[in-house]
Amino acid sequence: MDARVNPLHSLPADARRPARPTQEEAEAAVRTLLAWAGDDPTREGLLETPGRVTRAYGEFFAGYEQDAKTILSKTFKEVGGYDDIVLVKDIPFSSHCEHHMVPFVGKAHIAYLPHDGVVGLSKLARLVEVFARRLQTQENLTAQIIDAINEHLGPRGAAVMLEAEHMCMSMRGVHAHGAATVTHRFTGVFAEDRVEQDRFFAMIGKR
């Protein structure tokens, strides 16, 4: 075997993931960070902070326990022959940057051209949550959302655009308050036809 090849890379993601620490270990890690920051983990105001932080992390990163296939599994075929763009725009989301573990917050716009039925509209918002509630980059989040739509809905085309403010830029570093990061990706008809791209941008108010 080539020494440069890590054999773990050939394993499923779950198999590569290290064993999950216990609740007690997680809370101890929070106490360590509190002390490292310069505070006293034993003072009254911080005594229950480790438990609160771990419960909050359970919400922030709930996406690791959720599955896109399950969310998109039920479709509706009786749509009166409708075959034009289905768009849900301004879906709010919050995620955490995998580089600094601070939030980025924004809106997602998702469109697809149905091939064999449509999915419930709320499921697109839930799909965003599945991937947003993990440690992320915005670029990867954009790709994961559209890849899941293509894999599980098989549309004639899909379009995803994310707009977000990253706290790693506004709270630290360059302190660029209010700067927006925009990512988008097109597949199928949307990737091949500039007219369809223009329709998407017009429908979300970007043209």
Active site members: 97-100, 138, 166, 168
Bridge partners (DSSP) listed for residue 160: 110, 185
DSSP SS3 for 150: helix
Antiparallel, parallel or unpaired: β 86-97 and 135-136: parallel
CA 100 to chain centre: 16
Instruction: Tell me how far apart the alpha carbons of residues 109 and 33 are, in angstroms, rounded to a whole number.
Output: 37
Cα–Cα distances in angstroms (integers) from residue 94 to residues 56, 67, 68, 162, 204, in the given order = 13, 18, 17, 11, 20
- DSSP assignment of 122-139: HHHHHHHHHHHSSEE-HH
Largest CA distance in the chain: 65
Q: At what angle do helices 49-60 and 23-37 cross, to 10 degrees?
A: 110
